[in-house]
Amino acid sequence: MRDGLMTFTQEAMHFINGEFTPGTSGKTFDNISPVTGKKIGIVHEGLKPEVDAAVKAARAALHGPWGYMPMAERAELLHAVADEINRRFDDFLEAEILDTGKPKGLASHVDIPRGAANFKIFADLVKNVPTESFMLDTPDGFGALNYGVRKPKGVIAVISPWNLPLLLMTWKVGPALASGNTVVVKPSEETPLTTTLLGEVMNTVGIPKGVFNVVHGFGPDSAGAYLTAHPQVDAITFTGETRTGEIIMQSAAKGLRQVSMECGGKNAGIVFADADMDKAIEGTLRSAFANCGQVCLGTERVYVERPIFDEFVSRLKQGVEMMKLGPSEDPETSMGPLISQEHKEKVMSYYKLAVEEGATVVTGGGEPDMPDEYKGGAWVQPTIFTGLSENARCIKEEIFGPVCHIAPFDTEEEAIKLANDTEYGLATAIWTENLTKAHRVARQIDVGLAWVNSWFLRDLRTAFGGAKHSGIGREGGVHGLEFYSELTNVCVKL
């Protein structure tokens, strides 16, 4: 580990107006490794003074060089940000692994590349998206021209989660900056490092001071609550639990500030008898267990057509039992720990509850026997259940761990009804080789994103978001620009 990176990991400070600062609160909290349970370093907690300073810096930057910068120049700077992340790929990879404990192969192929790419993709998108224009007839015969002008929304509060820290933070920061806004980011208290490190990248490439700010802390009575309630914040974008989203919406209501929210999910997979079994097994192993099941788009409920139910359960069990739990740096590791001991307690409580509710444990259901050096980590077994009632809490409530429940169905109509029988509506994965059926079923599932014969395959030009309790609004492509910009109509009488 190089000296500079060691400094970041040992002491994560706020990044305000282009400077790293411990702030004035004098409060810190420990950053704990989910792999070992040991202390990695300390994180400075931001309170109202730190949030005020960050928002003030962001507001001022709107009226400085950034605010007057041509779009092409702004896009070049964001390309430079992406290039610098890639140049320092190993630093970001090490920081992300320290915080999350996820396998190195996963972070190096998904988290860091996508975290960098978000800046380039949205910088290019902003340059190439047209606005509307109309000619209007007028009584004098000369007419009028109406055209749209996109302008920055202002200061954007970015509340980012811990499961994909860099990727999901830049998924919001990328389009926000591409649209000309400034941001104040409050990363999860569980994963502060890559967001902190990004501040150094911003300075290196010449992003003006105040454009990108970071304040660390918690939610209630801490940085998160102060940021979302701040009257000088123009909009809030959030990824996290639905109940937290509801609290943020209450804060946003004062001042009628816009929100974009991607919240919880209890996603269903549907496997039809005509599915390619190999594809369905491989895809479900990923959708249910990737990132230790800590993916908002993951599959926790799997519905399998009855003729292939037993085979599917048997083969998925075999796949799960071949998974190797271990440290990030081991190339054979296929699954790391959960993010924290607190989250481990939550997941283990659902494992216990499932049995109490009558589940059959197909595999897993407990804690793995790890080597002594990892016994303090947040390890749980990847788990498959069957036999639960559709009214069971473990079927209705999001667990957010490496677990799925598999149930049979007999008809297409039944599968659709089962998949939709939830208060959430984020994603689904449908497995069938019948193209007509695939289209027919996909459009009937109440979700923001329906995959067919794939999972986690994303074209960032397309809309992303949830239905029902899984979110508000859409980001991605032009849909993100609609949130991150204000559209003014100009009417010119000719």
- Listing DSSP states for 90-131 in one string gives HHHHHHHHHHH---HHHIIIIIHHHHHHHHHHHHHHHHH---
Q: What pLDDT does residue 476 have?
A: 92
DSSP β-ladder status, 485-493 and 144-152 = antiparallel
Residue 218 has pLDDT above 90, yes or no: yes
461: pLDDT strictly greater than 60: yes
- Kindly report which listed range (5-9, 157-161, 387-391) carries the lowest average pLDDT score: 5-9
Q: Is the confidence at residue 88, as pLDDT, over 80? A: yes
Mean pLDDT, residues 145-158 taken together: 97
pLDDT at 456 over 90: yes
What is the predicted pLDDT for the residue at 368?
A: 97
pTM: 0.96
Examine the pLDDT at 1 and tell me if it is beyond 80: no
**Alpha helices, H only, 160-276:** 165-178, 193-205, 223-228, 242-253
Number of neighbours of residue 314 by Cβ within 10 angstroms: 12
Q: Is the pLDDT of residue 263 over 70?
A: yes
Phi and psi at 349, nearest 5°, equal: -65, -35
How does residue 325 score in pLDDT terms, banded at 50, 70 and 90? very high
Q: Annotated catalytic residue: which of 84, 262, 300, 398? A: 262
pLDDT at 54: 98
Instruction: Kindly state the percentage of the chain with pLDDT values over 70.
Output: 98
Tokens of 489: 């109509």
Least reliable range by pLDDT among 44-53, 229-238, 373-382, 475-484: 475-484
Helix (H), strand (E) counts: the chain: 18, 23
pLDDT at 7: 65
The whole-chain average pLDDT of the chain stands at 96
Q: Which two tokens stand for residue 259?
A: 């929100």
- Taking residue 140's Cβ as centre, other Cβ atoms within 10 Å add up to 9
Confidence of residue 4 (pLDDT cuts 50, 70, 90): low
Structural domains for the chain? 4-263+470-493 (3.40.605.10), 267-452 (3.40.309.10)
DSSP 464: B
Instruction: Assess contact for 12 and 193: CB atoms under 8 A.
Output: yes
Average pLDDT for 390-402: 98
pLDDT score of 3 more than 90: no
Q: Is 71's pLDDT higher than 90?
A: yes
* 123-127, 169-173, 355-359, 489-493, range with the lowest pLDDT: 123-127
Compute the radius of gyration of the chain from its Cα atoms: 23
The predicted model gives 27-45 an average pLDDT of: 97
Judge whether residue 430 has pLDDT over 90.
yes
Distance between CA atoms of 370 and 376, rounded to whole angstroms? Answer: 9
How high is the pLDDT of residue 9?
74
Q: Is 262 a catalytic residue?
A: yes
pLDDT at 5 over 70: no
Mean pLDDT of 225-242: 97
- 155, 237 in Cβ contact below 8 A? no
Q: Which tokens in the block code for residue 409?
A: 């169905």
**Which residues does residue 203 pair with via DSSP β-bridges, in sequence order?**
none
